[in-house]
Structure 1
Amino acid sequence: MKKLLILFSFLAVSITFAQKNNDQKAVSDASEKLRLAMISGDKTILESLILPELTYGHSSGHIDNAKEFVEKLVSKQSNFLNIENTNQSIQIVDKTAIVRNHLYGKTADLGKEPGEVNLDILYVWSKTKSGWKLLARQAVKVEKK
């Protein structure tokens, strides 16, 4: 009986570890899809990756809701020519993922000169029946050294 209890304990730990690794991979994949969709401005993909309750904080302090976030990217009001994410970390807590990374991007927003953004980002992803969805994002400017 003792051996059976040890075996079940080992299996439970193994399954939990495997699930956490699967979740981290799924969140990483969703983050990459979001990066690509932000560059392309693909409305269908953007909408598939976010929750309707999205709160999207810009480094300027402005906060977009889900509709504003999508419309700005689709209309090229917010136009990323490229985005490079580095130093990404993912922490899973139950059905929530906390993702931090550094974002460097080149922009060509409508009505503005081409520019660059250098930001540290915090993303909050929520696990739903249809996969990981972005619930919140907050950016802060990185000071030039």
Structure 2
Amino acid sequence: MIAKKLLFFLLALGLLTTVDSLAQNGDQGVAQAVEKLRKLMIDPDKAGLEAIASDRLSYGHSSGKIEDKAAFVEALTSGASDFKSIELTDQTITVVDNTALVRHKLTGETIDKGNTGQVKIGVLLVWVKQKNDWKLLARQAVKVQ
């Protein structure tokens, strides 16, 4: 009887460790995708942006403007949206099945028609796992103080 209880305990412990490990790996994969997006927004690459964004992307700006995937990629690669630096803070990641919610604060330096500016926004990103890659499905930004 003691052997059965010990075996059950060890199996349960192993299962919990595996579930925790999978959750952490999911968080790490999402964090890596967020960092890749941050770098692509500073140094845009059309192929990279198209690869990281879902074909059904809905990209909301703090101004209320909403872009689809094509407009999002065009704005960054054309320089219409030009980030010189981006810093992300207070990031949280919640993974549920094949969907991840990421919230963070974004501060950065922009250049708009030759004029430098500062941006400080709160961001919600929605990522979906397609095959083995995290794809950005939605983004909404709001102005913060």
Question: What's the TM-score, normalizing by structure 1?
Answer: 0.92
Aligned counterpart, 2:91: 88
Larger radius of gyration: 2
Aligned counterpart, 2:20: 17
- The unaligned stretches of length 5 or more in structure 1 are none
> Tell me, what secondary structure is at the counterpart of 2:15?
helix
Quote the Cα distance in structure 2 between the aligned partners of 1:60 and 1:91: 26
Alpha-carbon shift at residue 80 of structure 1 (Å): 0.5
> Tell me, what secondary structure is at the counterpart of 2:115?
coil
- The unaligned stretches of length 5 or more in structure 2 are none
Quote the Cα distance in structure 2 between the aligned partners of 1:95 and 1:12: 20
Quote the Cα distance in structure 2 between the aligned partners of 1:130 and 1:19: 14
The alignment covers a number of residue pairs equal to: 142
Specify which of 127, 130, 133 is matched with residue 132 of structure 2.
130
Give the ranges of 4+ consecutive aligned residues of structure 1 lying more than 4 Å apart after TM superposition.
none
| Amino acid corresponding to residue 126 of structure 1 in structure 2 | V
Aligned counterpart, 2:9: 6
Aligned counterpart, 1:106: 109
> Tell me, what secondary structure is at the counterpart of 1:114?
strand
Q: Alignment identity in percent?
A: 45
Quote the Cα distance in structure 2 between the aligned partners of 1:81 and 1:104: 11
Aligned counterpart, 2:29: 26
> Tell me, what secondary structure is at the counterpart of 2:51?
helix
